[in-house]
Each structure stands twice: as C-alpha cells, then as structure tokens.
C-alpha cells in the first residue's frame, strides 16, 4: 500500500472555483486536508511561506471581488507587501482562493483545473465543473 498523499486546500465553500478544485482533488482519489481559511486563517508567517512557494507576490494573492479591497484602498500600487499582508491577516476574505499545497508545489488554482498540475495521482474518471464545462474525460485525461 502506498503512503497517503498529503494535499492541503485553503478552501472557501462559498466559492465555485474552490469547490471545483476540491472536486478534482477528490476525483484523483485523494482526500485533502480542507482548511476553511476564512474561519481558520493561516498565520502571517505561513502565508508568507505559501506566497513564496507559489512564486507569486502578496498583491497576486489579493482578492478584489466581494471583499473590502476598495474601501481599504488596496488598489494603491505604492502599498508595500507588508501592508497587503496585514490587510489579509485582518480580513482573510482578501486571500484569494483556492490555494493548494501538494508534494508537487503550491499554487493559486485559478482556473480550478490548474490543480491538475499539482496532483500526483491521475483523475479516476470524468470531471465537469459546476457550470458543466468538461475538464477531464471518461478516461481521466485532461481536456
């Protein structure tokens, strides 16, 4: 028997992209550690590590839609990474999702099928997003 595959998804169940990403992880036969990051946000140090491992900047992880982004003036490009991180710590909804951690790396999975690059196991069958778009065919092959 092989060792279980350790995958973590920073998930928001209200987000379709996040639900689709979680579905594709499970379609690979993997039950990930699901962290509802709005209820249980990562520590600042962990968030800094995740951003670095994903190869992105804090601004690239910042979510605008449905958040206090505008009212906090976060569109100001002169704001430092430290200020952006502080905003994400104070308002976890500003952390874009889903962020997935796997043995193959860390990635902000937007679009959701980006998670396929992080899964060490093949898809076990067809997978369609909630909007009906087929992402994986019956043979488990990415379309």
| Given 7, 15, 50, 74, the catalytic residue | 15
Select from 116, 135, 67 the least CA-distant residue to 107.
116
Distance (Å, whole) CA 53 – CA 79? 22
Tell me whether residue 109 is one of the annotated catalytic residues. no
Beta strands in the chain (DSSP E): 8-11, 33-36, 99-102, 105-108, 127-128, 134-136
Task: Please state the φ and ψ torsions of residue 49, each to the nearest 5 degrees.
Answer: -65, -45
Residues annotated catalytic, as ranges: 15
């Amino acid at each position: 028997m092989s060792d279980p595959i350790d995958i973590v998804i920073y998930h928001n169940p209200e987000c379709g992209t996040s639900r689709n990403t979680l579905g594709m992880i499970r379609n690979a036969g993997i039950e990930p550690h699901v962290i509802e990051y709005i209820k249980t946000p990562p520590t600042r140090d962990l968030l800094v590590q995740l951003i670095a491992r994903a190869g992105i900047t804090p601004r690239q992880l910042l979510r605008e839609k449905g958040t206090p982004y505008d009212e906090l003036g976060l569109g100001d490009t002169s704001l430092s990474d430290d200020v952006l991180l502080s905003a994400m710590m104070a308002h976890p909804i500003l952390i874009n999702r889903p962020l997935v951690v796997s043995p193959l790396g860390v990635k902000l999975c937007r679009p959701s099928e980006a998670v396929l690059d992080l899964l060490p196991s093949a898809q076990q069958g067809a997978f369609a997003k909630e909007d009906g778009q087929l992402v994986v065919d019956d043979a488990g092959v990415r379309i």
